[in-house]
Structure 1
Amino acid sequence: MAAFSCNWIRSPQDWNPGSDLPVEEQWSSLLRHLFAKWPVPAFMDSVWMLPGDLVRKERRWYCHIAEGGSWRSALDLPRGLSRRAIHLAMDSPAHLDLVQAFRWGQLRALGAKEELVGEVLASSMAKRLSNEAIWSRLLEKVAACPGFEPSDFGIIADLVVDLLDHGHEQRAGWLLDHSLPDLRGHCYRRWQSLLNAAEANGIRFRDKQLTRSGLRAELRHFSNSRWDPMEGVSAFEIIRRTGLGELFGWTIVELRCHARLAREGDAMRHCVEGYWRACHAGRCAIFSLARRPAGEDSDKIIPHVTIEVHRESRRIVQLRGKWNRWPFPLERSIIEEWAHRNGLEMAV
């Protein structure tokens, strides 16, 4: 609010909130004390809680409306929002935020069913004002179809969100050119393929209902959480005989996505999955020492030791076996040979 002090019409020192008011009401009272010459809808209070830049268009809208300006003269308002949608948004439930209120107004203007309104407001697109032309098309398409199942909305919206987040606006628009049944079918197949890929990487889900938003969020995360390989580290495989005389092939490979880290952590019963952020940021690289009977199929590979390498210094800083045990001598000797070949320093 201090960034908009030039819009204050009263001094904060003159504000006298009721001591018995809840915190939310005190907050609302302060906003109106500082800015409001005219009534401001309750949903607009949410703009002051938005993360990111201090000076945002949403906060300029608040000041504009508080000074008595009209929505028609507000700058940078999304073009897809009709006057009727904005007018109806003024009567939206008080607990909604700004974007949700606009969506509520849009859906009311389109005559959408109550169940669809609820699904839209709970979806990921209900927090976005960018790419308004695409979202308006989608809302018009689903609201105009009497047989559309509201619980399918998130399936479609989350896939469009994923495309937009990766800069594929043209592809998102192409998707919306399809009939609603074809669009729904395409989205279901895409989420099913992500689920199959995650399960192929050893990830298990208790509830595999694709209409569940939490599952789709996990699938998006596993799909997007990948990173580049560590430079100067080549593929490694070696044959070694155990103390019992058994011949095994040993491999060391880098784990380059969250799904692989989760699979490793599940097999090894330790917390390596939590390292995905450090890997994604390029601070460390995680490798897995695994073995298989010499000459047999790779699907019988068994992980033995998880290896953490500090990327910048190229130092091996942690070695952990199952249940966080220390490596056995044979395992350590293999890791030392791999480190020597790739110019890595053993720091453990």
Structure 2
Amino acid sequence: MPSVTIKDVARLAGVSPSTVSRVISNHPRISVATVKKVREAMETLGYHPNMMAKSLVSKSTKTLGLVLPRSAEELFANPFFSEVLRGMLAYANQKQYDLLISSANNQQDELETVTRMVLGRRVDGMILMAPRKADPTVEKLLELDFPFVLLGRSLEHPNVLAVNNDNIKASFDATQHLIDQGHTRIGFVSGPPDLVVSEDRLKGYQWALSKAGLPMRDEWVMESDILPKNGFHAVSMVMNLPDRPTAFVVSDDVIAFGMIRELVGAGYQIPEDVSVVGFNNIVLSELSNPPMTTVDIGIYHLGYQAAQHLIRKLQGEEILQTGLTVPHRLVIRQSVRSFIRR
């Protein structure tokens, strides 16, 4: 059976082949009635555009590249990634863009994967997640003058396209909530130390303590990766100190789950003995025992806005505000004990 061509679609729709091409390319000057006619003809004939051939002509792949900075094990362990991806796909699908997704085990792997996507002309733009300090992938994309957006921020290049939370203020709010409940000995569990977001959340914690005149003890600040098992171990040594924290701000809900499991296994009760505030407000935080107080950073909206910001740039729009900030909110549940008498 011969394959269906643009000419076949044009004949059925009663328009020229060039009009069919413009409909496929989403040309803004084609009327709604004509678009409807052509789309119906395409559906009737089972016609699907040859996007590879189209990209050779238009020099556009209609594809965004995304490298998730985690191994497969971590991606499945942390719901943050699936939720942010859901947001990206929602906007990309609206604009008929696809996502080319890969994952990287380390910084060098990420750089090589991004370079391969860009130089291979497989994508029109890149979305980078969790940028690092002095990030070589950011430097490479700037060197190549290739469109990209950060999910986070760059310390060295504050004017690049970026979608982020105010992580300093978010961490301040989480710490201040514990202070408001009467806690004076507050620990902090950070994410990987090379990430900008980890540094920002540590700054917010330090700011809240300083403002309240409370001490920040180095031994109460721990670094962890974004896997539950690391939460199991991060808290062990600090809880054996003679002067231990009564509460923790934890930079990721999944780490917090690991900590709570470790604490309960060691005989502590949450929140009677130790209070915990997490980050991200993933679905499981409401279902944990007890339901966990956490900072909702709008994960879905971060992904949605990142895709929107990049596609707007690819479509030639003038971007006056390169940095977008997604609001956060503290979700108060039952994992924090109050020492304040009401």
Determine which structure has greater relative contact order: mean sequence separation of CA pairs < 8 Å that are 6+ residues apart, divided by chain length: 2
Larger radius of gyration between Structure 1 and Structure 2: 1
The verdict on a shared fold, with TM-score over 0.5 as the criterion, is no
Report the structure, 1 or 2, having the larger helix content: 1
Q: Give the TM-score category using the shorter length.
A: under 0.3
- Per the normalisation by structure 1, the TM-score is 0.25
